[in-house]
Chain A
Amino acid sequence: MADFDALFDEYSDKVYGLAYRLMGNRDDAMDISQEVFVKIFRNLKAFKGESAMATWIYRIVYNTCMDELRRRKIKQVSIVDKPDLVDDNISVEEIYEADERKKAVHNALYKLDDDQRAVIVMRDIQGLSYEEIADVLQCPLGTVKSRLSRARLNLKEILKDYMELFDEVDV
């Protein structure tokens, strides 16, 4: 359990954050996080360090989210519509503090396909390297590149009406 505590302290925020960005709301993020830690605890012994602990955990998060999203799609609940009403649970401050740009990006992200959103989240929000993403997705580097490339182009296309927000260089 000491192992688990250390593990939790190190990865809990990242697990929750990634789950939140993939699922789009806090309730799901919480459910997914619980499920992910259950899986981690169950499989910790079987983890042989064939990849970094971090990517192993992100892989669990990614797979759990994708399974859940797929399950919902089968149940005919469109996940694309849902994030439009995004975040019933989003905190009041978050709404007011979030500038127009953030809101636009947030909404645009959930119009992307799930796997395209995943690479954007991992690359741009989480800041993983291409190699790490390939490891998480268990796919070749080339696939990561092409998927990320397409995701960024699509995201830009979705955001084209808000493009004036991204003209100024303020970063």
Chain B
Amino acid sequence: MDCDKVKELLPLYIDGELSDDEMKAVSEHLADCPQCMEEYEQSKNIAAACKDLGFPAPPPDYKERVIAAVEKDSKKQRKGMFGAAAAVIAAALLIFISISSIGDATGTKGVVSGLDGMEQQEQTAPSQNQALTGSDSFMGDESRAVSEATGSSPQEEGMASIAEAPQSNDKADQDTSAEEAPDTSKSAEQNLAIVSANTEQRKIIKSAYLSLETEKFDNTVNSIIGRATALGGYVSNSEYNNRNEGKRTAHIEIKIPQQSFEQYLGDMGGYGKVVEDRRSGQDVTAQYIDTETRLKMLKIKEERLMELLSKAETLQDMFTIQDQLTNTQIEIERLTGDLKRWDDMVSYSTAVVDIYEVAKIEPEQEDNPNIWKRIGKAFVDSIKAIGRFFEGFIVFLFGAVPYLVLIGIVAWGVVTFIKSKRRI
């Protein structure tokens, strides 16, 4: 073993940390080589000098300062935990607000409906009770947010669009505002009845739009539909919206035989508070007679053409007459269809009813309540709103527990992973 190699090994040799063979070789070399022996002594002495350096004693206030630092940190950590909890609550609040606002604005489903599912569960109990008192429950399937029932009239689409068209120029239109209903709706109805009595031969398509508020949503819906059926009418279109507890809405389009229409509308006041009542009658008499006349003339034309056709001598004539005859017959069919459609629309009037569920029917407001009452009302309303908000928030929180647990597990996993990677 040469001197350089020994010098390499000396640092570990002084600790006796070489392999047995190396230890032996170095020992033998040192015995023979005074120069390396000197190196060895120096190395040993340096190590000894290091050991002599030792550790200085800490200053007297050491313990106090360390304890102060530790206490300060644990306070900070508690604060941090408090901050984290506050952050979690704030985040939940934010999510709740954004979800509920999205839900209000667009009526999206997804998470909202998932959470709303709970509210609807709560709602199931009362609605089933009501179903027992009502004839038959229309809301058989609570889990469906929107249910659609469509009647089976061949022309329902056309009729619906006409029924929904804005009021025509007919003077028989009655527009009763919310404040007048329901008492004055009687007189309006009588007016309409008088007009229609004077024009018995006239063709009038009658339609009405009503908006109802009710506390007993299911009862109201069932009564409205039940009454229509009893009068020989049918539901041509309906939509239900169960999205918000206590705020369900229904949109129903009903066809009623014309002679029962007034009676039917008059009954509405008994099913809920009528907040809007618009009626219209579209007089199609002129168009009807016009069409009838044209139809008569076309039929005469058809007969003549038939005669001509039987007398036709040349093939050319026959083709020309046949062409004319075909066109005439198509036109006759079209006009007959128009008349039939008008007859249907006149014999069945359309009622469009929007029903809104309300927690409590608001009493009629004073026209001009004094300022103190208004302040008091605003104050109470705000308190109620805050109450409702926190109620909703608590429901949301519990509803969100599964999500929170999931998020918590993921977050815990991530934090644990990061901690495991982080060295102290």
Q: Contact residues of A with B, CB < 8 Å?
A: 4, 8, 12-14, 16-18, 20-21, 26, 29-30, 33-35, 37-39, 41-43, 46, 59-60, 63, 94, 101-102, 104-106, 109, 120-121, 123-127, 130, 138, 145, 148-153, 155-156, 159, 163, 165-171
Given known A-B contacts A38-B70, A101-B49, A30 and B12 have beta carbons under 8 A apart: no
A21 adjacent to B70 (CB under 8 Å): no
Choice from B54, B65, B419, B423 contacting A125 with Cβ under 8 Å: B54
Chain A contacts for B57, CB-based, 8 A: 13
Choice from B65, B69, B73, B423 contacting A63 with Cβ under 8 Å: B423
In the complex, what distance in Å separates the CA atom of A155 from the CA atom of B7? Answer: 13
Choice from A35, A102, A126, A152 contacting B47 with Cβ under 8 Å: A152
Choice from A41, A124, A145, A149 contacting B50 with Cβ under 8 Å: A124
Give 1 or 0 for each of B59-74: 1 = CB within 8 Å of chain A CB: 1001101110110011
Q: Contact residues of B with A, CB < 8 Å?
A: 7-8, 10-12, 15, 17, 38, 41-59, 62-63, 65-67, 69-70, 73-74, 77, 419, 423-424
CB<8 Å pairs between A and B, sample of 7: A13-B58, A16-B58, A42-B74, A102-B53, A105-B50, A156-B42, A171-B45
Q: Which partner residue on chain B sits nearest A151 by CB separation?
A: B11
A167 adjacent to B77 (CB under 8 Å): no
Known: A63-B423, A165-B49. 11 other contacts (CB 8 A): A8-B63, A16-B58, A30-B58, A33-B58, A38-B73, A63-B424, A105-B46, A124-B51, A125-B54, A169-B45, A171-B48
Choice from B44, B53, B56, B423 contacting A26 with Cβ under 8 Å: B56
Given known A-B contacts A17-B55, A21-B55, A149 and B11 have beta carbons under 8 A apart: yes
Q: Which partner residue on chain A sits nearest B56 by CB separation?
A: A20
Tell me, rounded to whole Å, the shortest Cβ–Cβ distance linking B16 to chain A: 10
Chain A contacts for B55, CB-based, 8 A: 13-14, 16-18, 20-21, 125-126
Given known A-B contacts A18-B55, A37-B70, A152-B11, A30 and B49 have beta carbons under 8 A apart: no
Tell me, rounded to whole Å, the shortest Cβ–Cβ distance linking B92 to chain A: 28
B45 adjacent to A166 (CB under 8 Å): yes
Chain B contacts for A165, CB-based, 8 A: 49
Chain A contacts for B15, CB-based, 8 A: 123, 130, 148
In the complex, what distance in Å separates the CA atom of A151 from the CA atom of B90? Answer: 55
In the complex, what distance in Å separates the CA atom of A46 from the CA atom of B69? Answer: 20
Given known A-B contacts A20-B56, A38-B70, A167-B41, A60 and B424 have beta carbons under 8 A apart: yes
Choice from B47, B48, B63 contacting A12 with Cβ under 8 Å: B63
In the complex, what distance in Å separates the CA atom of A4 from the CA atom of B423? Answer: 21
Tell me, rounded to whole Å, the shortest Cβ–Cβ distance linking B420 to chain A: 10
Chain A contacts for B17, CB-based, 8 A: 130, 145
A42 adjacent to B56 (CB under 8 Å): no
A125 adjacent to B73 (CB under 8 Å): no
| Most chain A beta-carbon neighbours within 10 Å: one of B53, B59, B74 | B53
* Interface of A: prevailing SS: helix
Chain A contacts for B69, CB-based, 8 A: 34-35, 37-38
Tell me, rounded to whole Å, the shortest Cβ–Cβ distance linking B70 to chain A: 5
Tell me, rounded to whole Å, the shortest Cβ–Cβ distance linking B209 to chain A: 70
| Most chain B beta-carbon neighbours within 10 Å: one of A35, A121, A126, A166 | A166
Tell me, rounded to whole Å, the shortest Cβ–Cβ distance linking B417 to chain A: 14
Tell me, rounded to whole Å, the shortest Cβ–Cβ distance linking B346 to chain A: 85
Chain A contacts for B48, CB-based, 8 A: 171
Chain B contacts for A168, CB-based, 8 A: 45
In the complex, what distance in Å separates the CA atom of A41 from the CA atom of B74? Answer: 9
B52 adjacent to A102 (CB under 8 Å): yes
B50 adjacent to A120 (CB under 8 Å): yes
The 10 closest A-B pairs by CB, nearest first: A17-B55, A152-B11, A124-B50, A166-B45, A34-B69, A16-B58, A171-B48, A149-B11, A38-B73, A105-B49
Given known A-B contacts A4-B70, A124-B51, A155 and B46 have beta carbons under 8 A apart: yes
Chain A contacts for B49, CB-based, 8 A: 101-102, 104-105, 165-166
Chain B contacts for A29, CB-based, 8 A: 58
| Most chain A beta-carbon neighbours within 10 Å: one of B38, B41, B423 | B423
In the complex, what distance in Å separates the CA atom of A121 from the CA atom of B286? Answer: 113
Given known A-B contacts A21-B55, A167-B38, A34 and B65 have beta carbons under 8 A apart: yes
In the complex, what distance in Å separates the CA atom of A171 from the CA atom of B419? Answer: 46
Given known A-B contacts A34-B66, A37-B66, A125 and B51 have beta carbons under 8 A apart: yes
Chain A contacts for B38, CB-based, 8 A: 167
In the complex, what distance in Å separates the CA atom of A130 from the CA atom of B15? Answer: 10
Tell me, rounded to whole Å, the shortest Cβ–Cβ distance linking B10 to chain A: 8
Chain B contacts for A4, CB-based, 8 A: 70
Q: Which partner residue on chain A sits nearest B57 by CB separation?
A: A13
Tell me, rounded to whole Å, the shortest Cβ–Cβ distance linking B3 to chain A: 14
Tell me, rounded to whole Å, the shortest Cβ–Cβ distance linking A105 to chain B: 5
In the complex, what distance in Å separates the CA atom of A144 from the CA atom of B216? Answer: 83
In the complex, what distance in Å separates the CA atom of A18 from the CA atom of B54? Answer: 10
Choice from B43, B51, B59, B70 contacting A152 with Cβ under 8 Å: B43
Chain B contacts for A42, CB-based, 8 A: 73-74, 77
